[in-house]
């Protein structure tokens, strides 16, 4: 008997905010891989109300938040709905701009079964590739390859893990929600394998080529690209990275230092080559201030306004 014979359901949970109509086709594709798809509208503000009925027609259970509460809250709502469908369901968390490739769920379940038989305490199975490129790895031990810091989109998680670890942290609102959950799982003794047979197709922001005098800049043998984030997103990234570091640095100082350094590198590239430098500087300062003051949750209107790009 294989693992797919023993599990009652796999529920895909998709967080959505002002989604494009491309989500309809993605839901249709998700439905080929899982038992049920749950889409959580996190207080969308656009006028396209028809899309929600079209998503239902495509087979999704659609739930709504009355206001924008953040990705952690959206995923928590979806996970609760999925576990209400079946309390022993596996949960596959997905962003609205992620898609699954053939064999994705089957490969993840097989990896879980293989490692569980070897005595590995698996907390989740993450994709080993994003858009065909290998993800960053923490360690490799024979057949076991552990992801460095799995992005929540594409992670397959047993119901029992949520019962042990609890919900995603809604105080973080957005950015770092997955890192906090990963660190919490590791604190509880779970391992986070990456399956090289799982390739997640995902839109990663808005990459911009980095050039000087119209010449492409290369770093570590690769063309350097800047993933554009709004200053408000950079505020959340800065604030939450420091909050998470303070929570978990004692558990694994080396891992936490590497993760923080990755954010420092990204900020240096933004400072050198990105637009909105003034707003970025304000976002870093306010993110650092709020991290040390413990001001979490959704940024208030005054902060959001002050971080609006001014060109």
Alpha-carbon span 179 to 47, nearest angstrom:
33
Residue 51 binned pLDDT confidence (cut-offs 50, 70, 90): very high
pLDDT at 247: 97
Say whether 189 sits in a helix, a strand or coil. coil
HSE-CB for 183 with a 13 A CA cutoff = 22
Write out the residue limits of the CATH 3.90.550.10 domain(s) in the chain: 3-202
Beta-sheet pairing, 144-147 with 137-141: antiparallel
Residue 209 binned pLDDT confidence (cut-offs 50, 70, 90): low
The C-alpha angle 140, 146, 149, rounded to 5 degrees, equals: 135
The residue among 231, 227, 237 whose CA lies nearest residue 172 is 237
The residue among 209, 300, 304, 296 whose CA lies nearest residue 244 is 296
pLDDT at 217: 64
pLDDT, mean over the chain: 90
Alpha-carbon span 177 to 151, nearest angstrom:
9
Beta-sheet pairing, 126-130 with 194-202: parallel
CATH architecture of 3-202: Alpha-Beta Complex (3.90)
Residue 206 binned pLDDT confidence (cut-offs 50, 70, 90): low
pLDDT in tens, 11-46: 999 999 999 999 999 999 999 999 999 999 999 998
Using alpha carbons, list the distances in angstroms from residue 56 to 36, 47, 84, 253, 256: 11, 17, 18, 45, 41
Give percent of the chain above pLDDT 70: 88
Structure tokens at 85: 């469908």
Does the pLDDT of residue 237 top 50, yes or no? yes
pLDDT in tens, 137-185: 999 987 799 999 999 999 999 999 999 999 999 999 999 999 999 999 9
Does the pLDDT of residue 3 top 50, yes or no? no
What's the rounded mean pLDDT across residues 101-106? 95
What's the rounded mean pLDDT across residues 72-101? 97
Q: Where are the alpha helices (DSSP H) in 153-252?
A: 159-165, 177-187, 231-248
Beta-sheet pairing, 206-209 with 225-228: antiparallel
């Amino acid at each position: 008997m294989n693992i797919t014979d023993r599990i009652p359901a796999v529920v895909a949970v998709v967080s959505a905010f002002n989604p494009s109509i491309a989500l309809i086709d993605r839901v249709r594709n998700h439905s080929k891989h899982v038992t049920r798809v749950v889409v959580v509208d996190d207080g969308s503000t656009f006028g396209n109300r028809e899309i929600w009925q079209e998503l239902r027609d495509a087979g999704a259970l659609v739930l709504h938040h009355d206001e924008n509460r953040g990705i952690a809250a959206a995923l928590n709502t979806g996970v609760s709905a999925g576990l209400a469908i079946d309390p022993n369901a596996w949960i596959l968390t997905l962003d609205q701009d992620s898609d699954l490739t053939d064999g994705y769920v089957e490969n993840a379940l097989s990896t879980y079964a293989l490692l569980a038989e070897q005595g590995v305490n698996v907390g989740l199975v993450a994709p080993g590739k994003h858009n065909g490129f290998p993800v960053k790895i923490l360690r490799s031990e024979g057949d076991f390859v552990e992801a460095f810091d799995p992005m929540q989109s594409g992670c397959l998680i047993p119901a029992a893990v949520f019962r042990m670890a609890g919900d995603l942290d809604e105080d973080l609102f957005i950015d770092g929600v997955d890192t906090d959950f990963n660190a919490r799982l590791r604190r509880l003794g779970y391992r986070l394998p990456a399956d090289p047979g799982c390739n997640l197709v995902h839109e990663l922001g808005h990459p911009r080529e980095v050039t000087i005098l119209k010449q492409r800049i290369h770093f570590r043998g690769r063309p350097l690209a800047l993933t554009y984030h709004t200053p408000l997103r950079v505020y959340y990234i800065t604030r939450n990275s420091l909050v998470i570091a303070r929570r978990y640095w004692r558990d694994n100082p080396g891992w936490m230092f590497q993760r923080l350094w990755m954010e420092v590198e990204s900020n240096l590239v933004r400072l050198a080559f990105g637009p909105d430098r003034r707003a970025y500087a304000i976002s870093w300062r306010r993110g650092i201030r709020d991290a040390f003051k413990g001001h979490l949750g959704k940024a208030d209107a005054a902060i959001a306004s002050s971080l609006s790009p001014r060109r």
